[in-house]
């Protein structure tokens, strides 16, 4: 997995509440598209008009937000299904960091599995960031430092954020969870041996 340390980019505001995973990538694409093509369909219902052409009003189709690596998001972004394709779609667009007030729980977990940093901050701070982003020019550029847990707007004071230590390490080092857990195989076997005596009905 690609490591995450620092990131400097324009931040694109997408502040609607409850942006669900069916918006981020529609279900029929989950069936037919390969993982590395998923970004072609990112935000499909909003990003394209019914004739297939780009919707000029959609934020990621507008300058300076096209190609932004940071997305400012509203309440409950990524709610809905567990589809990891939603994260693949976003990652495929080049987005590496989401700054929002809350995220769909499963989507949030999926981000870390794909080298994307989701940051939770109070909504008023994100509203301030949105104002900066919309003012355009250099003010729309933010630096995110995962090691220091700081967001540095080009204009304005640095804002600290919290992240679970294990998640921080996972992203900083680009760790593969499976590889790490497999080192605990002995412990897992030990658990199962004892559990088989306590709950034999589990082992069918």
Partner 1 sequence: MSKPATLYDKVWDQHVVSDLGDGVSLLHVDRNFIHDLSGTRALRALAKEDRQVRYPSQTFACPDHTVSTDPLSDHTGERYERCVDPLRELSAKEGVRFFDMGSPEFGIIHVIGPELGLTLPGTLVLCGDSHTCTHGGLGALAWGIGVSEVAHVLATGTVLQKKAKRLRVNFEGTVPYGVSAKDLILYLIGREGAASGDGYAVEYAGSAIREMDVEARMTLCNLSIEMGAKIGMIAADEKTIEYVSGREYAPTGDAWEAAIEHWRGLSSDDGAVFDKELVVDVADVVPQVTWGTSPEHVVGIDGFVPDPAEEIDPDKRRSLEAAIEYTNLIPGTALDGVPIDRVFIGSCTNSRLSDLRAAAAVVKGRKVSGHVGAWVVPGSQAVKDAAEAEGLDVVFRDAGFEWREPGCSLCVGSNGETIAPGQRCVATSNRNFVGRQGKGSHTHLVSPVMAAAAALSGCITDARKIEG
| 165 binds partner 1 per the rule CB under 8 A | yes
Instruction: Choose, by CB under 8 A, the member of 13, 74, 118, 153 that binds partner 1.
Output: 74
1 close to 176: Cβ distance less than 8 angstroms: yes
Judged by beta carbon, residue 62 or residue 192, the one nearer partner 1 is 192
- 3-class DSSP assignment, residue 193: helix
Stretch that binds partner 1, among 4-12, 55-63, 65-73, 105-113 (CB under 8 A): 105-113
Element of type H or E holding 72? strand 70-73
Q: Is the CB of residue 93 less than 8 Å from the CB of residue 60?
A: yes
* Contact between 196 and partner 1 per CB under 8 A: no
DSSP strand pairing (97-100 vs 117-120): parallel
Coil/strand/helix, residue 19:
coil
Query: How many angstroms separate the CA atoms of 12 and 97, rounded?
Result: 11
Say whether residue 204 binds partner 1 (CB under 8 A). yes
Contacting positions for partner 1 (CB under 8 A):
15-18, 20, 22-23, 26-28, 30-32, 35, 45, 74-76, 79-84, 87, 102-106, 109-110, 113-114, 123, 164-166, 177-178, 181-182, 184-185, 187-188, 191-192, 195, 198-204
């Amino acid at each position: 997995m690609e490591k995450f340390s620092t990131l400097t980019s324009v931040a694109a505001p997408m502040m609607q509440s409850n942006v669900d995973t069916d918006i981020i990538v529609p279900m029929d694409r989950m069936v037919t598209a390969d993982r590395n093509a998923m970004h072609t369909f990112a935000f499909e219902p909003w990003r394209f008009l019914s004739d297939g052409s780009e919707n000029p009003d959609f934020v990621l189709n507008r300058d300076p937000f096209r190609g932004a690596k940071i997305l400012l998001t509203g309440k409950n972004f990524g709610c809905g299904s567990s589809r990891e394709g939603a994260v693949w779609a976003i990652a495929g667009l080049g987005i590496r960091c989401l700054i929002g007030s809350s995220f769909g729980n499963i989507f949030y977990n999926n981000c870390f599995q794909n080298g994307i940093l989701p940051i939770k901050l109070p909504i008023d701070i994100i509203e301030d960031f949105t104002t900066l982003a919309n003012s355009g020019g250099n003010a729309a550029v933010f630096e995110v430092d995962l090691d220091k847990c700081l967001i540095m707007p080009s204009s304005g004071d640095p804002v600290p954020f919290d992240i679970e230590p294990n998640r921080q390490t996972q992203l900083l080092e680009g760790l593969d969870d499976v590889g790490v857990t497999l080192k605990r195989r002995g412990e897992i076997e030990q658990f199962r041996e004892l559990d088989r005596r306590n709950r034999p009905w589990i082992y069918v």
